[in-house]
Amino acid sequence: MSDNRAKKSKAPLKTLGRTLGFVIKNYPVHCVVVLICIIVSAMVTARGTMFTKELINDYIQPMLDGDLSSDVGFRELGHRILLIALMYAAGVFATFLLNRLMVYVTQGTLKIIRDTLFEHMEKLPISYFDRNERGDIMSIYTNDTDTLRQLISQSVPNMISNISTVITVLTSMIILSPLLTLTALVVVAVATAITRMLAGKSAKYFRKRQKNIGEVNAFIEETVEGQRVVKVFTHEDKIMEAFDEKNERLYDSTRLANGLANVVMPIMGNLGYLNYVVVAIVGGYLAVAGVGGFSIASLVPFLQFTRQFNMPISQFSQQLNSIIMALAGAERIFALLDAPIEEDEGYVTLVNARESEDGTLTECEERTGVWAWKHPHSADGTVTYTRLRGDIVFEHVDFGYVPEKTVLHDISLYARPGEKIAFVGATGAGKTTITNLINRFYDIQNGKIRYDGINIQKIRKSDLRRSLGVVLQDTHLFTGTVADNIRYGKLDATDEEVHAAAKLAGADYFISHLPNGYDTEITGDGANLSQGQRQLIAIARAAVADPPVLILDEATSSIDTRTEAIVQRGMDSLMEGRTVFVIAHRLSTVKNSSVIMVLSDGRIIERGSHDSLLEDRGVYYTLYTGNKK
């Protein structure tokens, strides 16, 4: 138990250290200047308070006793006051510079954190997004990141300023009276213990609060996206109940977190007043009794120092909410940053090549239309080039999304260049999973997958995926023009290439009739287009990439029969000379496939051409005709 408690107590400090690491690493000079400004401000405050003792001892008391003429006294006092005024002016300038710098540093740091988050997120495997809701991830970028704003701009500078104040004030108090300082520290120790106890309890609820915010954001995003479905089935009341439940959890965690944290400030304020009273009573006795040479002249600044000493503790209690909340948000940020990135040990790369008359391949910079796998061999230092053809082979492949549950069993198949391989079967049979293994969204547990004779685990993932064209059932369009979305398949594609790809996919006709043609803006994931039109753009996007291998996952599922005939002609042209993997529930689209594979429970149970499978009168026959065997 003690070890666990120690780990928990160190976690906030570690999180705070990592957060400040972003600041110090990127703004080292600014941080030094800010530190100097804080120290200057603290020293000015302490020096101004100590001047009270000098004022009484060196000017007021001598003038009352007649030891100092008024002219000389006021002249010297004027000089001293001028020096103090200049010193306070320096303090004001230091505070002004501090605040200006912290605005710049804070916003710059938040930008860097968001950039770092996004860069890391792009390196995460697909499995991470399978496990985490989009709304919760969005909450990290927005709510959790924003909690750091006050931490960096106010809380941390105030903490450093408070530490500087405590050091300077405590030093001054010891100089004035060590005994009276010890009296003040007893009350401060009690206040510190109470603060630490309440902070520890509220931290747990602040962490829960950040998690609940993510859940609420995820639910809202999901509901907004599915609003049509909600209204179609009239589930508004049910959705409201589910939202109320999540919102209630957020309310409870926020209430408990803020309830504990808000108790700290009044407790600290009252203990500060108590400390002042105790010091005044004890100090008054010491001054009257003359213990240790302590006098009224020392008591006056000491009482001021007592208030200044209590102030940092009171300010810390005021900042407690934002500090704990920010650290809870920072924990979620670092949890994303610590998520393991997608490993890629591939060393075979895809390069432009030039083919000589004897078939020899030579790497080149310019695009020739010929691609080759560049395969360095560490054993002898040689490099071989294999032409990219689209020859894919599965050898006894087993796969499971989690180790304890295998979803594909002993899958063996081959797809020669130019062949069309179709996968059919019930939902959950493993059709999409097979195609996900080709582009290495997931890695297999057993067996091998070879691409042009090369184990795909040796191929660098970015190059592997660059050689594949994928059209998914769930089409996603980005904010931008129609041309931009088609060009996403090949960012340097010319307008002519974009138009040619659209014609090949059968999308040119409807695009030409849009208000601005190819320059029509698409927003809201294509909300201003029909589902079929969105699918056609996705097919054109794959066409412009001109890949040797195509993966079509229900590519025509959202297209009506008339449009399907148009698209199918374009797809036939697109598929010519390419290796194609087709997943389809509409069996009419796969009749002309080279091989049709029927899957059930992660196994290939039938394979053959359309005609041969019908002759076998097996599962495919049942699926195609609707008749029982």
Find the distance separating the first CA and the last CA of the chain, reported in whole Å: 65
The model's pTM: 0.70
Q: What is residue 9's predicted lDDT score, i.e. its pLDDT?
A: 40
| pLDDT confidence of residue 449 | 94
DSSP letter (8 states) at residue 122: T
Contact 350, 371 (CB under 8 A): yes
Mean pLDDT for back-to-back runs of 10 residues, the chain (629 residues) = 40 82 89 87 75 64 57 65 82 87 88 90 86 83 84 80 78 81 78 69 76 82 70 72 86 79 67 75 78 71 75 66 79 90 89 86 84 88 89 93 88 89 86 89 91 92 88 79 88 88 85 89 78 83 86 71 67 75 80 88 90 88 73
For domain 11-337, the question of CATH label 1.20.1560.10 is answered with: yes
Half-sphere exposure of 534 (CA within 13 A, CB side): 20
Element (H, E) at 455: strand 454-455
Determine the topology of domain 392-625 in CATH: Rossmann fold (3.40.50)
The pLDDT value recorded for residue 10 is 46
Q: Which pLDDT score, from 0 to 100, does residue 373 have? A: 92
Contact 140, 312 (CB under 8 A): no
Helix, coil or strand: residue 618: coil
The residue length of the chain stands at 629
Contact 326, 155 (CB under 8 A): yes
Domain span(s) for CATH 1.20.1560.10 in the chain = 11-337
- The predicted pLDDT at position 451 comes to 93
What DSSP state is assigned to residue 291? G
408 - beta bridge partners?
399
Structure-block tokens of residue 402: 């989690």
Between CA 178 and CA 169 the distance in angstroms is 13
The pLDDT value recorded for residue 456 is: 93
The residues of the chain that CATH labels 3.40.50.300 are 392-625
What integer pLDDT is reported at residue 29 of this predicted model?
92
pLDDT of residue 61: 59
Report pLDDT for 305.
75
Cα–Cα distances in Å, from 433 out to 264, 392, 596?
55, 16, 16
